[in-house]
Structure formats: structure tokens, C-alpha cells
Structure 1
Amino acid sequence: MKRIGLIVLATMVGLLIFVSCRKEEKAVNDNDIEVNSIYIYMEEEDLQELYSRDPFSDDRIDAFARISEEEMDLQPIEIRFRGHSTRMLPKKSFNIRFEEGQELLFGSDRMNLNGSYTDPSQMREKLSMDMFHHIGLPAPRTKYFNLYMNDIYEGLFIHVERIDENVLANMGVNQEGTLIRDRFVRNQDEEEIDRGSLFGYDIASVEDPITLLEENLDYRGTPSWEAVIDLTKWVYDTPAGDDFYHGFLEHFYWQQYIDWLAIHILIGDIDSYGDDYWLYKDHENPQEKWRIIPWDKDLTFGSTYRPEEYVDNHFFAYEYHMTRYNYSRNEIFNKFMETPALREKLFQRMDYLMKEVFHLGYFEAEVENTKRLIEESANKAPGANAFLLHPQNHHGELGYYAYHLETLLDFIELRYQYLQQHMLQHQEIKRYEAKVDLSKYREGDTLYFTDNNGWTMAKLLIEEINQIGSIEMKVREEEGIQGINRIWEINAGNASVAGEITLYYRNDVAHFGRANWYEEDTAVGNQWDLIIAQYNSGEMETLPSRVNPYSNKVSAKAAISNAMELVITYP
């Protein structure tokens, strides 16, 4: 298809009859968003340069855009790719600069269009940021956009509000305050800083700390570097324990920090302690404390890295330890978690949020509302007038959207089970063993067979309880079984219950994984063919089953009583 140049296009703009800002559904709360459209026009040679040059180039290229339904004229913009590791993905993300603030961008003149190529649901960033807004925490606002490049549809994107004076204005705080991002990996002339976080660095050892901070931190406006240095020294000099506890309450709005930390742990964001947050303080008011603002939430809700698979893969993970993956070496976080009084406050808040605020029903409603809004765009297939520059919206195979959304909800269920066990802080870890008491459940409830290391072997949606009692479950290895080489061993004693049972299997092949029970080192493979069977001395009675390999699970109706064994195999 022949492209239309900018010069010709400018003369024809009055004839364009498309609607560039289309509202598809009424927002259901203040931060829910409508799918809008942005049309970008570039000269052919400029477009080719953007996609052929070094993807990490931050040089901006001139272009034109329209995002207003009332304004018919094209606006001049400057455009480049954005992100870090995401610049290597097939679907690019964009940083766009307008000449003036845009109402649809919450008044900002900057647009951050995230491609979310690693996210088949196209929801992770939105769901994450909405959680902060839901409990009144400061966080960037988001909007979905359909992107057209020279009138070719190039996908569904999510704009994440730039953290700047507009965010501060929305927070109702002094826009001239100190706003910094904790991203501290740089090579210096005299030394190499070998950490990702400023906090834990001996700033007192530096002859000119202000220059060091100016050259090695992202910031907005004119920060009070003295306030940043004071915080950095306190973190470095104060050991975990009572002194850190009292100092933390003095330096931070601690309830806000705990909520920020709790949400990150709930959604499994293990990158959040490095460069994925900003700090703000109104240094002009001596009574003010530090506030924390989240950033970059695309790799959440089960997204995981795999060697040689990168992040655009279908492997599923929820066992992100609360403290083990602090790659940036952020000592605010480390000392917080090593201070019993602060850790206890965090655990109490997490328990409340999981049960009373961000329970499974909350996410079911959020996923369904967002699905109605974006499903058509998220599933759009390449065609004659779509996806010339990008392969499609995400890395997943089209036609499985419902399974990807189900995996989001599966993550919450399993993540919560994992966290609840870890908050109990068991002295002895028993792997792949669990015991449940039926007397604590009613018909319609879901019971989980979760070991005290947080791994959920199975769950049962109870349809009928015939006899109460205790049920024990163990999982043991059995090499002779094709598919998943494990047996789910159940001892129900006198208990008798019926319902839908879901068996979960391991499919971990990363260096931080535990085991792989599937017969191949692949995320999906032939797992669509797996079924549950009742196992008896080598004989199998298969059960009508439903599988979701994106969540590593198979479900079937079953009656549980006496001693029985279940397996996951092929028909």
C-alpha cells in the first residue's frame, strides 16, 4: 500500500473524516479509561529511520499527530522509542513530545505509549496502577489508545502518565518539591557504581555528592540535593531494628510506603525496589516527609524471565519471594524487612488487603470491565490495513484471550496462597504435603491444598459435602506416567466430598525455578491434550477435563473419598 507523504497529507487534512478520539465505554471509576485513537504521520524516510536505526537511540524525529476530536489540524510532535529491554521487542513503545499540554494526556505535553508486547492480556499495567488509585495512593494515570501510523493500524497501546509536575498537581502537593527516580547504575570516571539503588551507597565518601547525584539520577525540576543526601546518609548509617523503625516513621509517610510495598508484593513485581519508583518530598515545608510513587508495571501478574526465552514467553510464575529478588540492593527495603516492627505492620496490611480489598472478586470485576473495553483491539489480527510495522499486539497466539485472562486470576489465587504461607514463617518446610479440615468449609467454597512453602498442589470447588473430616494430599514422582510424571495421592479417611478439582503442575525451567514435571522444557507444547485420570495400580480411568497450560493446570469433576490417586496424562 502506498504511503501518503506529510506535505500532501497536510493539504488534505480538511477532507479527513475519521474520528480520532473515539469513546467506546463509559469509565466505571475515576481512573478507568476509554479507548481513544492517536494518528501519527511521518515521512517515509523518517519512519524507516526510526525502525532501522539503533533502537536505543533517544534522538527525536519530527512527525505530526492528532488526538483531539475537536481539533482538525495536525499537531507537530517529536517521537522516539522508549523503555529499556522492551526496545528489543517486535512491538515498540513510544515517547512522544507535543508542543503544548494535551487534555487527553492529563494536561501533559508528553505521551508514553507502552506496547505491552509481553502481555497477552494487555491489562497488567492498568490493573497494577488502578490498585494504587483504588486505595488513594499517588500513581500515574493510564489511558488506552489505538495507534495508527500513516493510517495503518499498529496496535493497542496504553499511555502511562509521565511522573512530573502534572502528577504532583493531581496529588495536591507542591509542584516545586524534590522529585527523583532511584536509578543509580552508571559508570563514573573514577569508579563503577555496582548497585542499582542509591540507598545503601556511602554518599559521605564522595567528595562532591551533589554532582554525583545530578549526573546519576533522573529528576524533575530543581531538587533539594541536601534532602536527598540526608536520606541517603540515614539509610546507610542506620542498622535494621529499633533505630531504623523510629527513623523510618520520621522520614517517610510510612502508611503510604507500606501500601506501596504491599501492592508490589501482591502482584509479584520483583523489579520494584530498583528503578521502578520515584520519591517526592516538599523540601520547602519542614514538616513534610518522603512519599513514594510507583512506575513501570508491565512485568507483573505472573510474567517471568526465562533463559533464551526472554520475557515474551508463556511460562507462569507466582513464587516470587518477598525479599530474595532485591537485585538493586535497595537498603531501604532490606532494612525495612529486617526490622520486625515494620515487617509486622506490612504483614498485617497485606492480610487485610488480600481479604477485604483486593480479593479475587475485585480482580474478576476489573478484568471483566477492561475486557469489554479492549477485547476487540487486543485480538485484532494482522491484515491488509493492520500491523505493517508490528507483528501483532502481543507475543501470544491469537484466539486464546479468555485463557490469558483466566491466567491473571489464577495468578492472584495462587500468589495469595503462597504469601499467606510465607507470612506464617514456618520453621520446617514440608514440600508437596497438605492437610485440610472439611469442617471449616461449606458447599460453594474453594479449598486449597497448599504446602507450607506456598506451592498449591490442587484446589477443590466444593459442590457437595457428604461427610466431614480431614483430607491429606501428597504429590510424589512417578516416572512411568506420560505427560506429568507425578501422582497426586489423596487420603480422605472418612471424609467424602465432590466438586471440581484442579491439579497444578510445575513447569519451571529457569535458574530460579524449582522443578519441571512436564516431559518437555517448553511453556505450552502438547499440554493442551493433558487430562486428569484416576490411577489404580497402573490402570487409568480418564475424566472429562479442561486444561489451561498458561496456568499449568487441569480441572475435572471428581468425588473425593477414602484413598485415591490422580494423575495428569494424555488420553
Structure 2
Amino acid sequence: MTNHNLPIYKVFIHPKDLSDLRKEIWSDEPVPAYLTPNQSKKKYDIDIVYRGSHIREFVKKSYHIKFYKPEFFHGLKEFHLNAEYKDPSMIRNKLSFDFFSSIGVLAPTSRHILLVINGKTEGVYLQLESVDEQFLTKRNIQNGAIFYAIDGDANFSLISDYDKGPKKTLDQGYEMKCGNEEDLLALQELIFKINTLTKDEFNQEIGSCVNIEKYLRWLTGITCTQNYDGFVHNYSLYRNHNTGLFEIMPWDYDATWGRDVNGKVMDYDYLRIQGFNTLTARILDNPIYRKLYCNILEEVLDKNFTIEKMQPKVERLHSLIQPAIIEDPYKKKDITTFNNEVEFILTFVRDRNSYIKSQMHRLTN
């Protein structure tokens, strides 16, 4: 194998189970396997299953792994292995999560690994932390509920994103990862208030439901990275049991930094700085919140979302995985494109930064 510094995960699946897994790609029923990290002799009994929606059709699959003997792997009960198949750089997801963390938004940790299944190298993957109880415990933050936005109906609206008719339930589009009935009722109440309160009522009450500053920091992050889909899914909600406030976190951010979900070029001015979804529109209708958003944007554009700040991060991630890319049977043929992605991403940062600054007047008028 090539000399690289990525952890190596060796997964072994019984041939019959592997055949079943490959035959039923849309099944959410896992198959048993075991995992050996790096050169360790320790084996972890795991359940493994394909993850994602349309990405299950890609030749390079993504996986969801749960540990059950031992129950924990480096403090984790489960994690995701993302193939990053459509991202020619293979670093956009991690770059995004690290960026969100740097501007004060809760975000999952991640790292690149090399995956081997039954002796066959499957290539470079992004190990992505699951947002669950352990996510909260590791950060020593208040216990609470976690909701996944699983599809476009998590649009903070009363109308379905799919059939454009009324939603059957107020929590449609969400899956509760952890929490209780009170948390579910709080989410339903939040959606109801967003869509039914008058302007004065909304301005008076929304601060007791949503952590506004954290929401605006998330809005700043999504505006900078330009994840067009992130306003109606590709996020999760955390409800702090101590304060009762909801916070929003990023998820699946490979369609960012100048490329869309298919890896095609997305012009730096594609996403407006006012964002989308009903909650964002109502928050930015408040001049006090709009001013706070401007202040956060200005801070991030000057200190975080700059060539000087991003260049070493992009180059470090690119250099880290470059030696392992030639072992990836699905990506090695695109090595030239991969090598050009550093300049591509940094050009996007420069152009997007300038564009956002040129649009700031739209928030103050």
C-alpha cells in the first residue's frame, strides 16, 4: 500500500451477508460484520448497512456502522462512513463542519479513513460523527433532544415540500434521534408558532423557542458555504432541556464550496444572503435580528471566511488524503481534477466573500 497517514478500517462481512446487502440496497436492515482498525488485533462486532437516499445508487456506497461488542469505539456507539463520491475534492464535508465549528455552531466531528472490505480496498471515506446522546456527552452540554431533518418537509412550513398540500403532522420531515414526548410537542409547537403568529407575537415569542444568535451563526455558515439544500434538510435540531431552546446544526455538506450535489459547478452568486425557508424569512423580518445577522456576517467574512484563513486548511486536508486517493478504485482516475480542487475552492472563497459583502446593503435597506 502507498505511504499515507490515514487510519485503515478493515471490515469483514460474511459473503452471504455481503450478497444480501448488495442485493437490497434500499433496505435499512443491517447485516453483521466486524471491524479491525489499523494494524490492531482487536475486533469490534458491528452492524453495517448502506446509508443515504439517492447516494445508495452510486457505485461507491456509503455506510452506517453501529457497534455492539464492545459497545463503544473511541467513545462512539455508531458513525457514518461517507463515500464523498460526487465531490471531486473529497474534503467539502469536513471543511464545512470544521468551518461551522470555528464560527460557534455545533457540528459533528469528522476524519478521513481508508476502508477495506473483505480484503478489497474500497477507498477514502469520511468518518462522520453521529449526532446523538454521545454527541452531547462528549461536549459536556445540557442533555436534550435531537431531531434529524430527513427530507424536504423539514422546511419550517405547514405545507409539504413534495405535494404542496398541507402536512399531515406538524413534525412531518423529522425523525427524533433522542428525546421524549415533551420534545416532540415542543417541535410541533415551534412549527405552529412560526406559521401562525402575527409579526408582533412572533417577535415577542420566538426568542423563547429558538436560540436566535446560534441560528444566525448557522445562517452565516450556510450562506458562506452555499449549501442550497441546507434550508429544508441537511440539518439537525438540538433542543436544550435546560433552556428549552432549539439550535440548528449542519449535516451532509458535500454540495458546498462552489459545487452542487452532483459535483457540478455552482456559481458563487447562486445563493442569496437572505437564505430560504419560513423561519429564516420571519427572523430576518425583525430589524434587530437582521442587524445581528449583519454583525455576525461581517465578523465571519473578516476573520474566518477568508483566503488567509481557509488556504492552510484546504491545503492540509488535500495533502492528507492525496497519497491515499491513488488507492481509491473509484476516484483515482480523477486525480487531475482532485489536484485542481484546492485552487477551485479558494477561488470560490474569494468570489463568494466579495459577493456577500456586495449584497449586505439588502439587509440594511
| Helix, strand or coil at the partner of 2:122 | strand
Matched, 1:178 2:145: yes
Contact 1:39-1:66 at 8 Å conserved across structures = yes
Which residue of 2 is the match for residue 79 of structure 1? 48
User: Alpha-carbon deviation of 1:213?
Assistant: 6.1
Which residue of 2 is the match for residue 392 of structure 1? 331
Which residue of 2 is the match for residue 113 of structure 1? 81
Query: Mapping of 1:427-442 within 5 angstroms?
Result: none
Q: Once the two structures are superposed, what CA deviation does each residue of 1:36-76 show, in whole Å capped at 9, x if it has no partner?
A: 1100112333323323x242221212222112655x14322
Out of 40, 56, 60, the residue aligned to residue 11 of structure 2 is 40
CA distance in 2, matches of 1:214, 1:319: 32
CA distance in 2, matches of 1:78, 1:426: 48
Q: 1:373–1:216: structure 2 CA closer, same or farther, 3 Å change rule? A: closer
CA distance in 2, matches of 1:64, 1:91: 20
CA distance in 2, matches of 1:157, 1:182: 23
User: Residue type matched to 2:246 in 1?
Assistant: W
Larger Rg: 1
User: Alpha-carbon deviation of 1:417?
Assistant: 1.8
Which residue of 2 is the match for residue 4 of structure 1? none
Q: 1:75–1:213: structure 2 CA closer, same or farther, 3 Å change rule? A: farther
Contact 2:114-2:324 at 8 Å conserved across structures = yes
Q: 1:424–1:271: structure 2 CA closer, same or farther, 3 Å change rule? A: same
CA distance in 1, matches of 2:274, 2:300: 22
Which residue of 2 is the match for residue 229 of structure 1? 188
Q: TM-score, with normalisation over the residues of structure 2?
A: 0.87
Contact 2:146-2:237 at 8 Å conserved across structures = yes
Matched, 1:55 2:12: no
Query: Mapping of 1:530-549 within 5 angstroms?
Result: none
Query: Mapping of 1:262-301 within 5 angstroms?
Result: 262-283=220-241, 285=242, 287-301=243-257
User: Residue type matched to 1:318 in 2?
Assistant: Y
Q: 1:351–1:214: structure 2 CA closer, same or farther, 3 Å change rule? A: closer
Q: 1:271–1:174: structure 2 CA closer, same or farther, 3 Å change rule? A: same
Which of the pair is proportionally richer in strand?
Answer: 1
CA distance in 2, matches of 1:183, 1:49: 25
User: Residue type matched to 2:76 in 1?
Assistant: S
Contact 1:381-1:398 at 8 Å conserved across structures = no
User: Alpha-carbon deviation of 1:316?
Assistant: 4.1
RMSD between aligned residues = 2.8
CA distance in 1, matches of 2:249, 2:97: 10
Q: 1:248–1:218: structure 2 CA closer, same or farther, 3 Å change rule? A: same
| Helix, strand or coil at the partner of 1:262 | helix
Which residue of 2 is the match for residue 424 of structure 1? 361
Contact 1:91-1:392 at 8 Å conserved across structures = no
Matched, 1:244 2:209: no
Which of the pair is proportionally richer in helix?
Answer: 2
| Helix, strand or coil at the partner of 2:21 | helix
CA distance in 1, matches of 2:90, 2:360: 31
- Note the residue ranges of structure 1 that are not aligned, 5 or more in a row: 1-17, 25-34, 186-195, 203-210, 306-310, 428-571
Which residue of 2 is the match for residue 495 of structure 1? none
| Helix, strand or coil at the partner of 2:205 | helix
Which residue of 2 is the match for residue 158 of structure 1? 126
Which residue of 2 is the match for residue 404 of structure 1? 341
Q: TM-score, with normalisation over the residues of structure 1?
A: 0.57
Matched, 1:336 2:280: no
Matched, 1:321 2:271: yes
User: Alpha-carbon deviation of 1:82?
Assistant: 0.6
Q: 1:312–1:400: structure 2 CA closer, same or farther, 3 Å change rule? A: closer
CA distance in 2, matches of 1:288, 1:325: 25
| Helix, strand or coil at the partner of 2:255 | coil
User: Residue type matched to 1:66 in 2?
Assistant: T
Contact 2:30-2:49 at 8 Å conserved across structures = yes
Q: 1:321–1:75: structure 2 CA closer, same or farther, 3 Å change rule? A: closer
Contact 1:323-1:337 at 8 Å conserved across structures = no
- Note the residue ranges of structure 2 that are not aligned, 5 or more in a row: 160-167
Contact 1:183-1:198 at 8 Å conserved across structures = no
Which residue of 2 is the match for residue 497 of structure 1? none
| Helix, strand or coil at the partner of 2:231 | coil
| Helix, strand or coil at the partner of 1:108 | coil
Q: Once the two structures are superposed, what CA deviation does each residue of 1:422-441 show, in whole Å capped at 9, x if it has no partner?
A: 222399xxxxxxxxxxxxxx
Matched, 1:67 2:37: yes
| Helix, strand or coil at the partner of 2:336 | coil
Q: 1:248–1:23: structure 2 CA closer, same or farther, 3 Å change rule? A: farther
User: Residue type matched to 2:260 in 1?
Assistant: T
User: Residue type matched to 1:321 in 2?
Assistant: L
Matched, 1:374 2:343: no
Q: 1:69–1:239: structure 2 CA closer, same or farther, 3 Å change rule? A: farther
Which residue of 2 is the match for residue 445 of structure 1? none
CA distance in 2, matches of 1:164, 1:23: 31
Greater RCO (CA < 8 Å, at least 6 residues apart): 2
CA distance in 2, matches of 1:43, 1:251: 48
User: Residue type matched to 2:322 in 1?
Assistant: E
CA distance in 2, matches of 1:298, 1:256: 22
Which residue of 2 is the match for residue 355 of structure 1? 302
Q: 1:323–1:82: structure 2 CA closer, same or farther, 3 Å change rule? A: same
Among the aligned pairs, what percent are the same residue? 23
User: Alpha-carbon deviation of 1:92?
Assistant: 1.0
CA distance in 2, matches of 1:312, 1:255: 32
Q: Once the two structures are superposed, what CA deviation does each residue of 1:126-182 show, in whole Å capped at 9, x if it has no partner?
A: 11000122233211111211001112211100011101001111332333x222123
Which residue of 2 is the match for residue 537 of structure 1? none
CA distance in 2, matches of 1:331, 1:37: 43
Which residue of 1 is the match for residue 162 of structure 2? none
